[in-house]
Amino acid sequence: MTDYAKLTLVGTYSKAATYTPAKVHMEPDAYALTPDEYMHVEVQADTGTTTLDTRHLASVTTLVIKNNDTTNYVKAQWRSAEYDGSAVKDNLLRIAPGGFLVTTDFTAANSLLLTANSAACECEVLIFGS
């Protein structure tokens, strides 16, 4: 049986709290994929780094991280293929409180590292693979 996943992003920018009239409304086509591996975890990112082992996955097509904390940011570190495909690149991005990160460039052979800045943060992680 085939599995399916769809990520949809909708954005509206307005001067009014009711979002009307909208200055900008963006609703592009959804990103759809057919994964055969799926992982969903809620993990606590500690200030001393929390490691999420992804080496058991064959490959990752999409990684989504949601920082559920309202005051502290989380640093996410992962490895991806370099642009020419011959080397690897280490990535480090900060996820704002309440923010999220979505990437399609993740090498499953290396683990995902999450580090909270001043207090532990709850994070929700979704990984789709094929």
CATH of the domain at 115: 2.60.120.380
- pLDDT higher than threshold 70 for residue 119: yes
What is the C-alpha to C-alpha distance for residues 36 and 3, in angstroms, rounded to an integer?
A: 6
Looking at the structure, tell me whether residues 62 and 13 fall in a common domain: no
- The whole domain housing 11 covers 1-33
Residues 95 and 61 in one domain: yes
Residues 6+ apart with CB under 8 A from 64: 7, 100, 101, 102, 125, 126, 127
pLDDT at 80: 84
| Pair (39, 95) in one structural domain | yes
Distance separating alpha carbons of residues 74 and 76, to the nearest angstrom: 6
Structure pTM?
A: 0.83
Do 93 and 101 meet the contact criterion of CB atoms below 8 Å apart? yes
Query: Which of 130, 55, 68, 53 lies closest to 100, judged by CA?
Result: 68
Looking at the structure of the chain, the number of domains it has is 2
Judged against a pLDDT cut of 80, whether residue 1 lies above it is answered with no
Model pLDDT for residues 28-63, shown as the tens digit of each residue: 899 898 988 889 999 999 999 999 998 888 888 899
Residues 62 and 95 grouped into a single domain: yes
Are 69 and 95 part of one and the same domain?
Answer: yes
